[in-house]
């Protein structure tokens, strides 16, 4: 299952996203994990274009997405409307949700079981 799903990390700061990817790579080396952090010019913020490009770059048809702040989710929502990929935005604590999901994908845990495991990390909107 680790190759059935990719993981996208969207953060307002490129180094936050890449640092989290570095951590996840330690527990989920067989899972494709990509980042869309910051803006194209390296500023703090998020970019619809960067998120869209990164989503399209996945070989996997299924992408699980995590974000750090509400405006990142807004750009992520828009990008998901423009892709043919099966994208699911998981509204969890950014680090804990992504870490738990990636490690369970690595262990080939079914998606329903992963969602059950991360349900305690869901952020109420």
Residues taking part in catalysis = 12
Going by C-alpha positions, the residue among 22, 113, 29, 20 that lies closest to residue 68 is 20
Here the tokens at position 39 are 């803006």
**Residue 84, C-beta contacts closer than 8 angstroms, at least 6 positions apart:** none
**Measured between alpha carbons, how far is 72 from 32 in angstroms, rounded to an integer?**
20
């Amino acid at each position: 299952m680790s190759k059935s799903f990719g993981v996208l990390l969207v953060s307002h700061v490129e180094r936050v996203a890449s640092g989290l990817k570095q951590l996840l790579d330690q527990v989920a080396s067989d899972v494709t994990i990509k980042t869309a952090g910051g803006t194209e010019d390296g500023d703090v913020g998020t970019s619809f274009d960067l998120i869209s490009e990164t989503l399209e770059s996945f070989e996997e048809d299924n992408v699980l997405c995590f974000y750090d702040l509400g405006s990142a989710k807004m750009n992520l929502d828009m990008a998901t409307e423009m892709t043919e990929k099966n994208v699911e935005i998981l509204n969890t604590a950014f680090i804990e949700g992504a870490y738990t999901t990636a490690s369970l994908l690595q262990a080939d845990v079914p998606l329903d079981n992963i969602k059950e495991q991360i349900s305690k990390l869901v952020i109420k909107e």
